[in-house]
Amino acid sequence: MTTILLVEDNPITCKLVRYTLEKDGYQVIDAPDGATGLALYLERRPSLILLDMLLPDIDGFELFHKLRALPNGSDVPILAFSGILSVHDEARLSEVGFDDVVTKPIEPSRLLQIVKGYLPPVDPAPTPRGDGTVRTLVVADDDAVQRKMVALRLQRAGFKVTTAADGQEALERARELRPYAIVSDVLMPRLDGFGLCMAVRSDPSISQIPIVLISNSYLDSEDKSLARRAGADDMLVRTPELRDVIELLHNKVGTTRVRRSQTATLDPELERERIRRMMNQLERQVAMHAGMSQRCSLLSAELSVLSGISEAVATEHDIEGALHQILASCFDAGGISLGTMYLLDDDKLRGVRFGMMESWSDADVTAFFGHRDLLDAAIASQSLVTVPSEAHPEGEFRTLLDRTGARSLTIAPLGHKGQPLGALVTMSRSLEFQPSDRIAFVAAVAGQISLALALARSFQAKDASERAARANATVLRSILDSMAEGVVVSDEHGAVTHWNQAATSILHVAAEDLRAQVIDRPEFPLARALRGESVDRAEVSLDKTETWLSINARPLGDDQSAHGAVAVFRDVTIERAAQTRMLVSERMASLGTLAAGVGHEINNPLMSVLGNLEMAITDLRRIRHDHAEVDFLELGELLRDGKEAAERVRDIVRDLKLFSRSDEETGGEVDVEHVMESSVRMVWNEIRHRATLVRDYHVTPKVYANESRLGQVFLNLVVNAAQAIPEGRASQNEIRIGIGVAPDGRVRVSVTDTGCGMTPELVAKIFTPFFTTKPIGVGTGLGLAICHQLVVAAGGEITVESTAGVGTTFAVLLPPSHSVERVESVVRPAVRDPRRRKILVIDDELLVATTFRRALGRDHDVTMLTDPRHALRLIEGGERFDLVICDLMMPDMTGMDLHAELVARVPEMARRMVFITGGAFTEQAREFLDTHKNPSLEKPIDLEGLRTFVDARLEAIDADV
């Protein structure tokens, strides 16, 4: 592969040269300075060097001499790269000996043509045949570059070449050298190719020398005929590789070369034909150059328009005024005397005139001289129109030409990306038809104007958009600064980009610490929004300040990706505390309303307990003192009735405990049927005097909720249903409670009554705080509002349907719990250990402690104490127990205090403790039971269950040991 060394410091030029040459099969190595160029020459030995004249470390002329001084440096062609050259520099280039000059900016095809002239082709020419003799050729061409390229090709083909600048010089060289053949261009000064042939053939000393003419201009058959008559062996088309010429010189010319016996004489007719063909060629060249000159003039005018438009777009605010001035001057340079630029603004067309058109009125310009439809059609279709033309004949548009004073005109539409912008109309008072180059010129200028208008309007739109954006940003900043809520915005990487003063105040952090507070915490709503989640009314606690926030957060972006997130939050600490107090107040109000009914429910079974116990005690006394006979079957029934009544009291107490947890916050899996039954027992005294209770229960999954708050909801709904029905007609009214699964999978709990019902106006207000339909003193107006709030907080929905005079149905819909199904523990009766165990019972209530001792004393050795301090001294003294049953809440020293002392002193006994409680009423007690592994039992406890539990616990302790 042929290697070319490029010494050039301009990276753009390097890229262009490399692309051009490598695409044609050459290998290019480049050097950014002279020192690198010298090193690469020694390393790679290139076949040709392209040398920039201005380098950062050395002058191009000096580098040329250093390259020539290197080994084989004189044999490598060196071409100069240069921009505009002065006369002095041109002289130096010629004097120094550069093989050729490539002028910047580089035209790729021209560069490739020059390079190929100094290098063998990638596909080498056929190897020449030779008989050992040196064959000399005379090459004649008035174009220096073409002369060098032809000479180089022929030298590479095995010939010795001498050159001449025209036919006269070639004739002299032929007489001097007697060459093997002459290769000549046709059109040359002093003596052309035809004249050279005739002169050679008329000279006896050289008449036998073969002559081959080459040309890119003389291509007609008449030209070839004239060449043969003038004495040429052949006339061939000039090609870059000269393959046909080389093949002719090697083969045909060499085999047919004979000495002519007589000298040719000049034929006057031949001379006249030569002159005629030469004049035709000159006229063709003149016409071609005249057309090129005209085209260059049009291109120059087009460049002037483009330059003016570019400057106007960059510097002028009035783009239309600038275009008016540019068009007036540049069209004059293009030979166009008058015209109009029509612009579309809000679907209205207006004209901007230029040139000499003083007689035109604004109305004529706007109406396009009575042919507005022609102009509108050209703009709408974005099609170029010329008048007159085949599609638009002169006769049809004669009035248009007469009124404008023009002989021809062109309508070039203005538009950008399918959007019409107007039209450029140019007219000529001298030309009857618009020539194609003039039409192309107008179309090109129209394209540049379209681009300028589109750019100008884009800049104007951009400026307007930026002004609007700045105004919106100012308004947004004012809004953010005036908001009481905190606002924080982040980008997709989690960097905080916007915030307001309220955000830093509410969060109690500096601006630079916002990210750590709201983004680096994965559970914070803004961090969740960055992951694509939308968060509504999330309540978050700030641990350090005990502040509660209500937060809404949203991702910023489209459906495919998030570009950031925004969070809006406010401090709800005071509201939360007030809400908690309101919930407790409403719960206590509900319990106060039901106090009489609960008292009645307790008094009935309590009377039964007391009566049956009194009769049982009387019978026992008779047995003991009077030795009277007693019906033991009846005595057993008395005791069983008393036990059943006591269990009813126990259930009522448990229900009261469910509704008395004032500050419970935690949730869990809740059985709605169990909670509803507790609520019904609480209000049974309200129900039974007003309506018949109907239960319509179906099997449902558990829901995740707060049991106490859900009980408050059910309690309010059942109480409202009862109070909607007047007393005294229980058999004629009904309260129906339904529990089941809704079609959407949610658990549905409904309470329906046949009471007074409500109008649609009342239904619309029923969940509004402090709104009530009950008499003054009966309702607070908060019950249903709080019910609505509690159900929504649990992720559910509460609805109401009511008809005045018919009844009302409230329905609560709750999502089922999605937690992993728990396996209920089954307490199996323990296998009784034959050994009696030592059990310590501690309770400040002597009756409770005595009951425990009696219940467990048959199977175990039970020690009963009412003071935990006494128990601590006993254990510290060395006494040990298999199990310690201790009350959790005691006046002087609690079970929690005893546990802490035992953990510090006798850890083994602390692990054996079991707590009993009548209800963990304090936050400390609940936290203690949640955080310690010791089991607990709630009072009252049935004695058989107590024995089973104790045996199972002793078995578990033995297994751990």
Q: How far apart are CA 319 and CA 329, in angstroms?
A: 16
Q: Mean pLDDT lowest for which of 297-301, 532-536, 849-853?
A: 297-301
- pLDDT, tens digit, for every residue of 241-252? 788 898 898 886
More confident call, 238 vs 829: 238
Separation of alpha carbons 770 and 757, rounded Å: 19
**pLDDT higher at 418 or 811:** 811
What is the structure's pLDDT at 786?
72
Share of residues in the chain with pLDDT > 70 (%): 75
Give pLDDT, residue 605. Answer: 63
pLDDT value, residue 602: 63
Q: In the structure, what pLDDT confidence band is assigned to residue 640 with cuts at 50, 70 and 90?
A: confident
- Provide the pLDDT confidence category of residue 465 given band limits of 50, 70 and 90: confident
d(CA 881, CA 909): 7
Q: How many CB atoms lie within 10 A of CB 701?
A: 17
Q: What is the pLDDT of residues 79-117, one digit of tens each?
A: 888 765 555 566 677 677 787 888 777 778 778 878 887
In sign, the C-alpha dihedral spanning 464, 466, 469, 470 is: negative
At residue 138, does pLDDT exceed 90? yes
pLDDT band at 913 (very low <50, low <70, confident <90, very high): very high
Q: Which is higher by pLDDT, 460 or 25?
A: 25
pLDDT band at 463 (very low <50, low <70, confident <90, very high): confident
User: How confident is the model at residue 214, as a pLDDT?
Assistant: 92
Kindly tell me if the per-residue pLDDT of 553 is higher than 80: yes
Tell me the C-alpha to C-alpha distance, in Å, between residue 426 and each of 431, 445, 479.
Answer: 12, 11, 55
pLDDT digits (tens, 9 = 90+) for 678-687: 888 877 877 8
Q: Where is average pLDDT lowest: 80-94, 220-234, 662-676?
A: 80-94
- The answer to whether residue 239 scores a pLDDT higher than 90 is no
β 211-215/496-499 pair status: unpaired
Kindly report whether the peptide bond that precedes residue 940 is cis, defined as omega within 30 degrees of 0: yes
Binning pLDDT at 50, 70 and 90, where does residue 479 land? confident
Place of tokens 């109690």: 508
Looking at residue 748, its pLDDT comes to: 95
Distance CA(740)–CA(811), nearest Å, equals 11
Average pLDDT over residues 718-747: 90
Predicted confidence (pLDDT) per residue in 841-889, tens digit:
998 887 778 878 878 888 899 999 989 999 999 999 899 999 999 998 8
The DSSP result for 61-105, as a single string, is HHHHHHHHHSTTGGGS-EEEEESSPPHHHHHHHHHHT-SEEEESS
Query: Which of 363 and 87 is assigned the larger pLDDT?
Result: 363
Q: Give the pLDDT band of residue 581 (cuts 50, 70, 90).
A: low
Task: Identify the band that residue 828 occupies on the pLDDT scale cut at 50, 70 and 90.
Answer: very low
pLDDT tens for 314-348 read 555 556 666 665 665 555 544 566 778 888 887 78
The DSSP annotation for 628-661 comes to ----HHHHHHHHHHHHHHHHHHHHHHHHHHHHT-
Q: Which amino acid does the sequence have at 50?
A: L
* Res 776 pLDDT > 60: no
Q: In this structure, what are the phi and psi dihedrals at residue 255, rounded to the nearest 5 degrees?
A: -85, -25
Pick from 196-200, 319-323, 498-502: least confident? 319-323
Q: Given this model, what pLDDT does residue 258 score? A: 45
Please write the tens of the pLDDT for every residue from 800-820.
Answer: 999 998 999 999 999 998 643
pLDDT of residue 143: 82
